[in-house]
Amino acid sequence: MDKMTVRDVEWQGVRALVRVDFNVPLLDGRITDDTRIRAAIPTLRYLLEHGAKVILLSHLGRPQGRSAADSLRPVFERLQSLLRGVEVRFADDCMGPEVERAVAELPECSVLLLENVRFYPQEEQNDAQFAQALARLGDVFVNDAFGAAHRAHASTAGVARYLKAVAGLLMEREISVLSQALEAPERPFVAVIGGAKVSDKIGVLENLLPRVDALLIGGGMANTFLAAQGYDLGQSRLEPAALDLARGLLDRARQMRAQLLLPEDLVVAAALAADAPHQVCAADSIPPEGMALDIGPRTVARYQERIRGARTVIWNGPMGVFELAPFAAGTRAVAQAMAEVHGVTIVGGGDSVAAVEQAGLARHMTHISTGGGASLEFLEGKTLPGVAALTDRPVR
């Protein structure tokens, strides 16, 4: 990695202004999944153990102004429990004289979590004055929020114009693992791409196709590819506007003699409901009233064989409507096959991560990305503003 990291800084007595991604799901004010908070703990402990004062910036939700429902206070309470033995404080704002006073009074080897930066519209506008106000709170900027690295916001890219900016341990690992998979993977290299829309992932598909040994397609986007080949998908959800995109990718795969695999059979029901009668149909035999909601058993066996035989696997997007039990088998099968891979396995995207967690297989994966949109854009080959803003490592 050609960017500086927390290992390149002497932290004793230094104010570390750390952008974390604590955008966690809440239900009635309670955190339902603290994965993103736990993912930041190694960086925070590194800074604390090396004598830093740690000031944390994060967003939560999409508030329209200040909102109690989008306060980071529940995160503060969880952070206190995860950093036992460390003094953790909370500020009711993220800028201004009161916050500057709280930072000045913060002891070394302590943490101050600031309130939601998105309470200010200037955050998403990447406003220079707002970024400067944030920068005054620290001596060195640490970006450990890979999940927000694709956003050119004040707290992800703007602050880096005024402070030395280095990657946290989580950011470093995300970039290193994904870069290695794209640029120098162990082979065979297999990508499994699912989800609802081709249009959301066409850039990823185009970037991966010439790099992988096999590209396995599932989920609702597979319906669009099948329709582009002339199959009648009944009442299945697909993207008519993306048919040409799908045809273009299929033509490109044929020209490259690349292996782009589509479902041979599908689990079909007449309604999107857990209690709807369902059956397995060949891809060319879906009844007029049928909806394809998961990949079928022949496809599962074929995909599992390719995955198990790989040395590098990237997975982004479910194979079906995995939230409903009758249509979750394909997604679970991909997770199980990845757990059996003797090599590198990378899971990205909220639904794929949720499926792996639900199956109890997360510990078997090499890397579970904390960035949904960020990991997608990285896999597309795009430059992420939050990464580009980091200070380059000196050339030796």
In eight-state DSSP terms, residue 143 is E
Note the Cα 384 to chain centre separation in Å: 13
Structure token digits, residue 132 = 């400067």
Best CA proximity match to 93, nearest among 79, 110, 72: 72
The count of C-alpha atoms lying within 13 angstroms of the C-alpha of 278, restricted to the half-sphere facing its C-beta, is: 24
Catalytic residue among 66, 164, 373, 382: 373
Annotation says 197 is catalytic: yes
Find out whether 287 and 268 touch, Cβ atoms under 8 Å: yes
Active site residue 373: yes
Amino acid residing at 208? L
Residues 82, 70, 174: CA angle, nearest 5 degrees: 55
Alpha helices in the chain (DSSP H): 35-49, 73-82, 97-104, 128-135, 169-183, 198-208, 220-228, 243-256, 297-308, 329-339, 350-358, 372-379, 385-388
Which of the following is catalytic: 78, 164, 197, 247?
197
Residue 350 is a catalytic residue: yes
Active site residue: 311, 350, 372, 382, which one? 350
What does the alpha-carbon distance between residue 191 and residue 306 come to, in Å, rounded to a whole number? Answer: 10
Nearest Cα residue to 56 out of 28, 82, 29: 82
Which value, in Å, is the radius of gyration of the alpha carbons in the chain?
A: 23
Positions marked active-site: 36, 197, 350, 373
